[in-house]
A and B are shown apart, each in its own frame.
Chain A
């Protein structure tokens, strides 16, 4: 095989592709060819590198130099300087919020330093569309070990020892689920991978599927062997075209190699995998609803028991796990359950992938050991809050999760600690919010989402959430009563206890958690008719505080309705007749002078 002196790993996750990384690649290849470097320097397209905030990203090996925010126009200069003359180009290197000098090497960048990659072990290091590169990094080694030297019971035992819990949200022990699935003597059995990632702000599963699709296929095949199942399905959102594209390539390649299909590696074991794109209903992330959807029926949860492991897809024993869960399986079988359990906390072993978004400097995809504090995630990895604003809360777990305030920053994130805090791991979306976020409005946003996405099967979720939304809307419009807080709490508790499926049971969490941790904001909205974060327009006076006003005129420039009069050396005045309450002036004012 041909040897190159340098590999250029161009990130082609969805984030970087949308910033133009593919045209970057074309330009690179053309430029390298022009310079006669095509035989020495190789361009490789990888999945998500994780540091989405700095995209498009390119990492240069063997040195491990990290280039950020490249454009096609930068390429000729870069190629001449670095790849021809060997001088790394300073202006494209990383420099952090609190760092004066540039950081040339990926391994020295704080964002990467605190991470431990297991599920994402191949991210940015392999070409996601080339099975050989996956094999080169121990790909399918676990599968061959399992097929030729382990009994299905031993596989299950190893997964149990590892303490792996489902990464989709609820955290059910994976080994136990597989054991259940094996116990029933009804055939055929099925393995399903849940890639219907619907939480706002979450993109873990997408990135795994885009960066390392074979890790999921291998995990599913091992699961199939453990259960004695011969068919698997990956249910993935239709909104993830790139993930589906790469999965299709991966499945095709695996079939050609005989790593899927009949008689895998000559072991006599048959297993194949199909892809099923979901039509975009949030509820289809719920396991039983997902199975109905797979069967071609309307996606609605059903009553359990029987559990899916007994009677799932087409009434047959079925094991359903999340994308990230399957991505964790191969290393467990290769290195042993105890290796996996060596990281993490008492009840939650291993690592967890989080999608870090919101008002944080380093937006991206991260993987940290279970038990890492929120403080580390938000400040050391996330690089803190931009624009000199204050941290207010972190929303974890999407519409099933909660907003955790500053005092809980020291919480060591695992399944149990989050549960105690009234939150939920969910699939791992972490949205950081600064002091310009209104918690009542945030609660309303997630409630609105849950109302929209409620499948309508059970009354508590269908009607209860709607009532909660109405109350929240009332509060936001300044028509709230102080009893509303208690009403919301009572109703939320009822919905939690009486809803049919996991989505309904957790849907009130955003409201309940914001009442628990930010009760004062609800009270300000109801009693003082004031929105402290100046988000809820009905509660903003749109009046300039003459004392705070620095007479700079920025608000006048920002106003699209010409409602602001301002002259030099005089405070601005807002004409409420003309004002359209768009908040442009509030965002423009640097001195918080508008109330």
Chain B
């Protein structure tokens, strides 16, 4: 291993920081994907992969991804809830990978709700 320079040290810090930042709190937004049996069956795992991939590619450090149980509306799965801190959460339904990507870019990153896919404001309580 080559010896580090000051710049290397900063680079490592930034790189690793982006992966460990979720241990610190201080998030700007949260994406919650219900993962009940119904959600998983309807393809919630694919949504999860999309979100994680977006975060990884765009090096985003202030978005928290969580899962929750069945939201009770099994017929409209897979769903996702987007919450920009300080604003009411918005629940999206009947999603697929493409829609999820759109929501991520528009709502999570730019703060604009995508009304076309939205079900309602509000969310079940999660930790």
User: What sequence of 0s and 1s flags, for each residue 70-104 of chain A, a beta carbon within 8 Å of any chain B beta carbon?
Assistant: 00000000000001111110000000000000001
- Given A3-B52, A3-B55, answer yes or no on A266-B1 (Cβ-Cβ < 8 Å): no
| A104–B126 CA distance with the chains assembled, in angstroms | 11
Indicate which residue in B4, B6, B15, B34 contacts A86 across the interface (CB closer than 8 Å): B34
Indicate which residue in A2, A3, A36, A62 contacts B27 across the interface (CB closer than 8 Å): A62
Question: Cβ of B56 and Cβ of A265 under 8 Å apart?
Answer: no
- Given A85-B36, A104-B127, A257-B3, answer yes or no on A5-B65 (Cβ-Cβ < 8 Å): yes
B60 → chain A closest CB, angstroms: 9
- Check: A153 CB closer than 8 A to any chain B CB: no
Q: Which parts of B24-70 form the interface with A (CB within 8 Å)?
A: 24-25, 27, 32-37, 40, 45, 48, 51-52, 55-56, 64-70
Question: Cβ of A85 and Cβ of B19 under 8 Å apart?
Answer: no
Question: Cβ of A265 and Cβ of B16 under 8 Å apart?
Answer: no
Question: Cβ of A126 and Cβ of B9 under 8 Å apart?
Answer: no
Q: How many residues of B contact A (CB 8 A)?
A: 42
Which residues of chain A come closer than 8 Å to B64, judged between CB atoms?
62-63
- Check: B75 CB closer than 8 A to any chain A CB: no
| A94–B56 CA distance with the chains assembled, in angstroms | 33
User: What sequence of 0s and 1s flags, for each residue 19-50 of chain A, a beta carbon within 8 Å of any chain B beta carbon?
Assistant: 00000000000000000100110000000000
- Given A2-B56, A258-B3, A265-B5, answer yes or no on A62-B16 (Cβ-Cβ < 8 Å): no
Question: Cβ of A265 and Cβ of B15 under 8 Å apart?
Answer: no
Indicate which residue in B6, B9, B12, B66 contacts A62 across the interface (CB closer than 8 Å): B66
| A155–B6 CA distance with the chains assembled, in angstroms | 19
Which residues of chain A come closer than 8 Å to B110, judged between CB atoms?
none
- Check: B99 CB closer than 8 A to any chain A CB: no
User: What sequence of 0s and 1s flags, for each residue 119-130 of chain A, a beta carbon within 8 Å of any chain B beta carbon?
Assistant: 000000110000
- Given A62-B66, A135-B16, answer yes or no on A9-B23 (Cβ-Cβ < 8 Å): yes
Which residues of chain A come closer than 8 Å to B32, judged between CB atoms?
86
Question: Cβ of A144 and Cβ of B36 under 8 Å apart?
Answer: no
Which residues of chain B come closer than 8 Å to A266, judged between CB atoms?
3, 5-6
Indicate which residue in A1, A3, A125, A265 contacts B9 across the interface (CB closer than 8 Å): A265
- Check: A500 CB closer than 8 A to any chain B CB: no
Q: How many residues of A contact B (CB 8 A)?
A: 45
- Check: A61 CB closer than 8 A to any chain B CB: yes
**Nearest opposing residue in chain B for A127, CB measure:** B20
Q: Which parts of A254-291 form the interface with B (CB within 8 Å)?
A: 256-259, 263, 265-266
Indicate which residue in A63, A107, A141 contacts B13 across the interface (CB closer than 8 Å): A141
- Check: B85 CB closer than 8 A to any chain A CB: no
- Check: A64 CB closer than 8 A to any chain B CB: yes
Question: Cβ of B65 and Cβ of A62 under 8 Å apart?
Answer: yes
- Check: B17 CB closer than 8 A to any chain A CB: yes
- Check: A216 CB closer than 8 A to any chain B CB: no
**Nearest opposing residue in chain B for A9, CB measure:** B23
Question: Cβ of A85 and Cβ of B67 under 8 Å apart?
Answer: yes
Indicate which residue in A4, A64, A87, A144 contacts B69 across the interface (CB closer than 8 Å): A87
Indicate which residue in B3, B33, B67 contacts A83 across the interface (CB closer than 8 Å): B67
Indicate which residue in B9, B17, B18 contacts A144 across the interface (CB closer than 8 Å): B9
| A83–B67 CA distance with the chains assembled, in angstroms | 7
| A253–B2 CA distance with the chains assembled, in angstroms | 12
Which of A9, A83, A87, A104 has the most chain B CB atoms inside 10 A of its CB? A87
- Check: A575 CB closer than 8 A to any chain B CB: no
Question: Cβ of B9 and Cβ of A263 under 8 Å apart?
Answer: no
| A168–B5 CA distance with the chains assembled, in angstroms | 34
B53 → chain A closest CB, angstroms: 8
| A366–B37 CA distance with the chains assembled, in angstroms | 41
- Check: B114 CB closer than 8 A to any chain A CB: no
**Nearest opposing residue in chain A for B16, CB measure:** A136
Question: Can you list 23 A-B contacts (CB < 8 A)?
Answer: A3-B55, A3-B56, A4-B52, A5-B52, A7-B20, A9-B23, A36-B45, A61-B23, A62-B25, A62-B64, A83-B67, A85-B35, A86-B35, A86-B126, A87-B69, A107-B25, A136-B12, A136-B13, A136-B17, A138-B13, A148-B6, A258-B4, A259-B4
Identify 9 new A-B residue pairs, CB closer than 8 A, beyond the known A63-B127, A141-B9.
Answer: A2-B56, A5-B66, A125-B23, A125-B24, A132-B12, A133-B20, A136-B17, A258-B3, A258-B4
- A residues with a Cβ closer than 8 A to B are 1-7, 9, 36, 39-40, 61-65, 83-88, 104-105, 107, 125-126, 132-133, 135-141, 144, 148, 256-259, 263, 265-266
Q: Which 3 A-B pairs have the closest CB atoms?
A: A258-B3, A86-B67, A136-B16
